Each structure stands twice: as structure tokens, then as C-alpha cells.
Structure 1
Amino acid sequence: MKKHLITCCLFFISLWGFSQTSSQCARSLAQAELAFEQGRLSDIINTYTDEASGFTRCLNGGVFSVEEEIRAYKLLTKAYLFQDDEAMAEEMFVKLLKADKEHQLSPEDPAELYLLKDKFKTEPILRVAVRVGANKSLPSVIQNFNTFQVGDKRYNESGAETGLGIGFWFEALAERHLTKGIEVATGIQYRIASYEVEGDLIENDLNYVAKNTSNMLRFPLLVRYSLNYDKKDKDGNRKKILPYVFIGGSYDLMLKAKYVDTRRTGGTAYTLPDESEDLTASDQVAKSNISIIGGLGARFRVGRSEVDFFSMEVRYDNSLFNYINPDNRWVNEDVNFGIGHVEDDLTLNTLSFSVGYTRSLYIPRKRKQYR
């Protein structure tokens, strides 16, 4: 009980001490801003260069809030500018940009500060995006094949036997803004896609179900155009919602493909043996493919500086080439004659929905012409 009491006392003492320090730091910043309004620029600079001053200890000691830190570095930038110390003004401005990545100047800021900002690249050098989504497979049959089948095959029907062909994917992209809302992105994606086929054999009371699941490693390259990228609202703030459209392509590398829950029902039941499930070992599927990609989405600015994004996206992937290796279509007798299923020539297309998060990476630096 005594230990808990001592711990509580120490906690409240430290909290009170921090509150007092924070209050003192707020006063020191207010005094520095008052000195600027009164034109006492040398006083501000002398206070900053004095490591024992409360203003400097608060700034270097991390006591200032982020907002106070931004105000302090902006104040120092202007003080050095008006003292014609360009080197120190640039140093303070870089520290300001580290605290506020894309700091927006206000109409009240002096022209000298606008000129200084123009010397620096304030846009991100790179953005890193991660996305996770669900996809629905949409097989597009090029040519039908069968052994004993009666009628057409049914792909991804909802019901007791077949499902909807739902899969999942995860993606990591590196993105770069080029100009006027146009961006390029490339990276890597891991996708699980599946489709399910139901067919009738000889008579309608004898049928089969074949579920094909594939794991792919994909390498997308995308071009995106974002609306509102550089636009501001009537109050001068950057617009928070950025709708976009994109197109691109992907090189798709097959990692694994297999049958899952593949069986014949009605009459004499038959279940596919485990050793017949692997389609990659028997080279029944194409080892690689190329897809074209298109979609639309929206990004929403998040965070205090609103330089990162939460996003939602709808995407369509269209494979260009046959998912099946036609030379080895008939190699699996357990599937062809035991189940009664033969894979059609088809392209494996997907419609997907995803959510993601984009992190902006910055290195404040002067433009080449000013170096």
C-alpha cells in the first residue's frame, strides 16, 4: 500500500513539475514573439544563442509542443532574415520544415519568407504506401474443354456447392509525384485468387465441384492522376479529399496453384487425392503472366500536418494471356477422369476493393539553382 502511495505521489509531482515547465516555456515563447513585434530582433537571436536561456532549453529539450516548436523556428527564421543572416535563416527554415513537413505560409507572412521558401523543395521525395484488399475472380473463358460434361460449366456461382471466388491481396508501393497531380508507383504485391467451377456429368444428378486457388507474386507499375492535388479551399487550406484514377500493368509470377475441396458427387462419390492437388508441380498453369490494371479511388489527408493519407480504392485487373498451360491440360487423370473436370483456356481477371495508408517521406533541401 505504501509503495502504491509513493508511486502516486511521485507521478503527481512529476506531472505538476512538467505542467509548470510547460507554462514557463509558453511564456518564454510569447515573450520572444513580443520582442519580434517590437523590432528587438537582436534580443531574440541572443536569447536563442544563449543555451542557458529558458527559450533555448525549451526548444532543445522537447518541452515545446509541436505547434510551439513550429512557431519558434518560424520566428527565428524571420529574425535571421531581417538581420540579413541568410545562412542561419536557411538553417532555421530547415528545422521548421522538419517539424512541419509542408509548412503553409499565411498571407500575413513577409515576402522575404516566401522568397526563402521558394528556394527549398518542400514536396516529399517519396511516398510509401501499403494496401490490403479483397478480390473477386472473374474468369474469362477463351475456349471450353471437357470429358463427360453435359451443358456449360458454371463459374463462381453462389450456392451450396460453389462459392463466389473471393481472395485477398497485400501490396507495398513506392510512389513519386511528377507534376500537376501525376504520380508513378511501383512495388510488389502478394495475391491469393481463386475460382470455383461446377459442372454436370452425363446426367444432371451427377456433378462435380473444382476449386482452383493460386498464389502470385506481382510487380505492378502504375500511373495515377489525382484531382485537387495542389488545390486549396476558400480559406487557403489544402483540400483534404483527393479523388484519383489510375492505369498500369503488372508482371505476375506464379508461386503456387492447387485444387481445394475438389470432388464429384451423385452416383459414386469421388474426392481428389492429395497428390493430385498441386497444379504447379505438373506444370498445368502458366508460370507467369502480364496484366493491365485500371481503377479509381480517393485519398484523405490525415495527421496534424495532413501530409499522410488514408485511401480507398476499386481496381480491375485483366490478364492478357492464358492462365492454363494448354500443353499439360490432360496430364492429371485424377482430375480429368476421376472428377470429370478439364480446365478451360481462360484469363484470370479480378475485381478488388482495398484500403491503404500512405506515408510521405521528406528530406528538406535547397533547389539546385540556389545551391
Structure 2
Amino acid sequence: MFKRTLFTIIISAALGLQAHAQQTQSSCSQTLREAQLTYERGRIDLVPDQLASCLRSGFNKEEKIAAYKLLVNTYLYFNESDKAVEAMTSFLSLNPEYEIDVVADPSEFINLYNSFRTTPVYLLGGKAGSNITAVNVSRNFSLDDSSEKRGKYNYIPGFNVGLALEVPINKKVSIAPELYFSQKKYQYRDLILGFADVNFEETQTLVELPVFVKYNIGNFGKDKNITPFVNLGGSVSYLLSSEADVVRKDAVSGENQREVSGPSIDLADQRNSIIYAAAVGAGAKLKNIIGRGYLIVDFRYSYGLNNVVNPDNRTANTTLVYDYLYVDNDFSMNNYSFTIGYLIPKYKPKLLSKKLKK
């Protein structure tokens, strides 16, 4: 009996609180409409007192936005600059992506808005995608004739995943550092000494730090939700590991073949641990696709600037040299990547023109 009574009391209290909240919401919605009418009728001095109670508690987010905008115009009308700045700060904190309506918004409101920082302080998120690596040979080495270009390099898809940060300098230009965990792969095929068909596949695992200057071209689309951009910058990568899977097939007689294979071979000592690259790219930011953030589609090309091979250890791995007849060429690695990401903007409205506060 006691439990049933307690349950009934709790349910009744909850329903009462809900009804009170709905009543308060309805009352404050009416208050906002009345304040707007008061402003339109010219009794502007009454508006702040009308809105005060519901701004403390009662308005939903959209109503708060409308109320603070009304307050901005009210304080501007009476030349109360400090209060107008305070109201605009609250307005932009709730609605940081507000776009000026040159027809409906008063010129004083537009001037005050333009004196505020309305770009994000930064955008932070993640990216993931795939890449392919093109090997750029600068000098040939081989147990066979190395005076001519040897073998053939083929693409093998890799992947990259990581964090992305964008710091706007202004509405057009931003600095965009990123941090990736990536894998890059390629295949090398060569016929050595006329009988040994060598298949060499390398997988490199790296931590990459690309840094770009990003230029936003403009806003396009029906609702201006598409922002194409171009990137220019470079990257430094640290090699975590490098392994090769190698198979050698010898033509013995007729169709008979002898195969040499084994476990993956560690190439870390034969590779330089730091790799540099210059990079360019292009893509687009898509707004209002998922939540309040930006969906990013990005394509870029990286040009390797230094030799990946450590020349002092070129022939140090005797298994590669004697079992597989393989010797590294000097080469750099160019890379094509395609990524999709999501960035969430962080806004902090701030008055930039101090003159308006006087």
C-alpha cells in the first residue's frame, strides 16, 4: 500500500512539473510576441523589462535567439553600446552562424555584427581514407645490369586515419595541421639475371604530420552549403615499421619453376626514419549534411622530397641479397590520397572593434 501511494505521489509530481513547464513555456512564448509588438509600436524602453524574467528561465533556444536580437536593436536605439555588445555576444553564442539580412536587419545591427569575430576559433574532427603510392626512382641498383631502368612498380592501396584541426585566419584563409596513422604499400617486379622473377611488396606504417594553408574559394549551392577549397603545404612522417613480403620464382627448365619464399622481412634498418614531402590538394566542405559540423571531402597529392632508402644499409640484409637477389634502388615516394572527414566548429564571439564600446 505504501509503495503504491509513493508511486502515485511521484507520478503526480512529475506530471505537475511537466504541466508547469508547459505553462511557463506558453507564457514566455506569449511574452516574446508581446515584446516584439511593443518594439514595433515604438514603446522600446519597455522591452528589456518584458524579456528579463523569461530570459532567466522560460525561453527555449530559438526564443532566446529572437529575444537577444530584439535586445540588441533596443540598446542600439538608445545608444547603450555596452549593453548592445553584451546582448550581441549572447545572441552570437546561441546562433554563431547567423547570416546578415541586408534588407531586414537595421544598419546599426549590421555594423555591430561586423565588428564581431564570427568565424570559428577552430574546427576539430577526424578524417579517414585510402591512398596509393607511386615510387619515384632516382638511381638504379641491382645484382643485374643497373645501367638501365629496371623492374616495374605497381600500386597497392593503403589507408590513413587521424585527427584534423583547422584554425581560420579569416573567412578565406586558414591553417590546417593534421595527424595521421597511415599505411603505404607498393609492389616491385623484376626479372633478375634472366631467370629469377622477383615479386617484392613493401608495407610501411607511419605517423604523418601534414600542415596546410587552406584557401576557401567561396560558398556555392542552393543554400550556400558547399565551400570548395585548395590546400598547399607539406608533411613530415616518422616511419614506425617497414616490412616486405618477397617471393622469387626461378625458371629451371621448360615450365618447371623453383620458388623461394619465407616470412616477412623487416626493412626498418634499410629505410630512413624521417620522410619529407610537399603537398597540394583540393576538396569541399559540406554544411548541414550531418549535425552542425562540416563534412569534408579531400583529395591531395604528396611529392616525396628525400630518399626513403638508407644507403649505408642497402645490402645489409643478406637474406634479401642472396636468397631473393634483391637490392633497393634509391627512391622517393609520391602519394595520392582521398579522405572523408567531419569537423566540428568551436565559436567564441568576440568584439574586435573597441570603438563601439565607448
After TM superposition, the score normalised by the length of structure 2 is 0.83
Residue pair 1:279, 1:285 contacting (<8 A) in 2 also? yes
- Which of 30, 33, 36 is the aligned partner of 2:36? 33
Classify the secondary structure of the residue corresponding to 1:28: helix
What displacement does 1:12 show?
8.4
Aligned residues of 1:169 and 1:189 also touching (Cα < 8 A): yes
Map 1:18-29 to 2 at 5 A.
20-29=23-32
Q: Where do 1:277-288 residues align within 5 Å?
A: 277-280=265-268, 283-288=269-274
1:326 pairs, out of 311, 315, 334, with 311
Alignment-mate amino acid for residue 347 of structure 2: Y
Deviation by residue 1:72-98 (Cα, 9 ceiling, x = unmatched): 111122222223332222111101010
- Cα deviation, residue 202, structure 1: 4.2
Structure 2 counterpart of 1:366, from 341, 344, 351: 351
Aligned to 1:140: 136
Q: Residues 272 and 338 of structure 1 are in contact (CA less than 8 Å); yes or no, is this contact kept in structure 2?
A: no
Unaligned runs of 5+ in 1: 157-163
Matched residues in 1 for 2:249 and 2:119: separation?
61
Question: Which residue is 1:289 aligned to?
Answer: 275
* Matching residue of 1:313: 298
| Counterpart for residue 336 of structure 2 | 351
- Residue 246 of structure 2 corresponds to residue 262 of structure 1: yes
Q: 2:339 is matched by which residue type in structure 1? A: S
User: What is the match of residue 57 of structure 1?
Assistant: 57
Cα displacement (A) at 1:304: 9.7
Amino acid in the other structure paired with 1:33:
Q
**CA separation in 2, counterparts of 1:202 and 1:174?**
51
Question: Kindly tell me: are residues 369 and 11 of structure 1, through their superposed partners in 2, closer, same or farther at Cα, counting changes over 3 Å?
Answer: closer
One-letter identity of the residue aligned with 1:38: R
Distance (whole Å) between structure 2 residues aligned to residue 303 and residue 13 of structure 1: 39
Please say which of residues 344-353 and 246-255 is displaced more in the overlay: 246-255
Equivalent in the alignment of 1:161: none
Distance 1:73-1:305 versus aligned 2 partners, 3 A rule: farther
Cα distance 1:20–1:270, how it changes in 2: closer, same or farther (>3 A)? farther
Change in 2 beyond 3 A, CA 1:305/1:284: closer
- The alignment partner of 1:335 has SS state of helix
Alignment correspondent of 1:48? 51
CA distance in 2, matches of 1:365, 1:305: 24
* Identity percentage of aligned residues: 25
- Partner of 1:58: helix, strand, or coil? coil
Asked if the contact 2:32/2:51 (under 8 Å) is kept, the reply is: no
CA RMSD of aligned residues (A): 3.2
Give the distance between the partners of 1:355 and 1:8, measured in 2 at CA.
48
- Measured in 2, the distance between the counterparts of 1:130 and 1:121 equals 25
Deviations 1:208-240 (A, max 9, x none): 3221111222222212222115x898xxx6x22
Aligned pairs for 1:1-371 (under 5 A) are 20-49=23-52, 53-54=53-54, 56-59=56-59, 64=60, 66-106=61-101, 107-147=103-143, 152-156=150-154, 164-179=155-170, 181-203=172-194, 206-228=196-218, 239-259=224-244, 261-266=245-250, 267-273=257-263, 277-280=265-268, 283-302=269-288, 308-370=293-355
Deviation at 1:32, TM superposition (A): 1.9
Q: Does the aligned pair in 2 maintain the 1:167–1:194 contact within 8 Å?
A: yes
Question: Structure 2: which 5+ residue stretches go unaligned?
Answer: 251-256
**Contact 1:194–1:212 under 8 Å retained in 2:** yes
In the aligned structure 1, how far is the partner of 2:204 from the partner of 2:234? Answer: 19
- What's the secondary structure of 1:146's corresponding residue? coil
Q: Secondary structure at the match of 2:30?
A: helix
Q: Structure 1 residues 303, 367: closer, same or farther in 2, change over 3 A? A: farther
Q: Residue deviations 1:16-60, cap 9 Å, x none?
A: 7655554333222222212221223333211333xxx4564213x
3-state SS of paired residue (2:46): helix
Aligned length: 341
Contact 1:129 1:175 in 2 (8 A): no
Deviation string 1:330-371 (CA, Å, 9 cap, x unpaired) is 011111121222222111111111111222222211115436
- Give the 3-state SS of the residue equivalent to 2:322 in structure 1: helix
In 2 relative to 1, CA 71–232 (structure 1 residues): closer, same or farther, beyond 3 Å? Answer: farther
Distance 1:328 1:81, change over 3 A: same
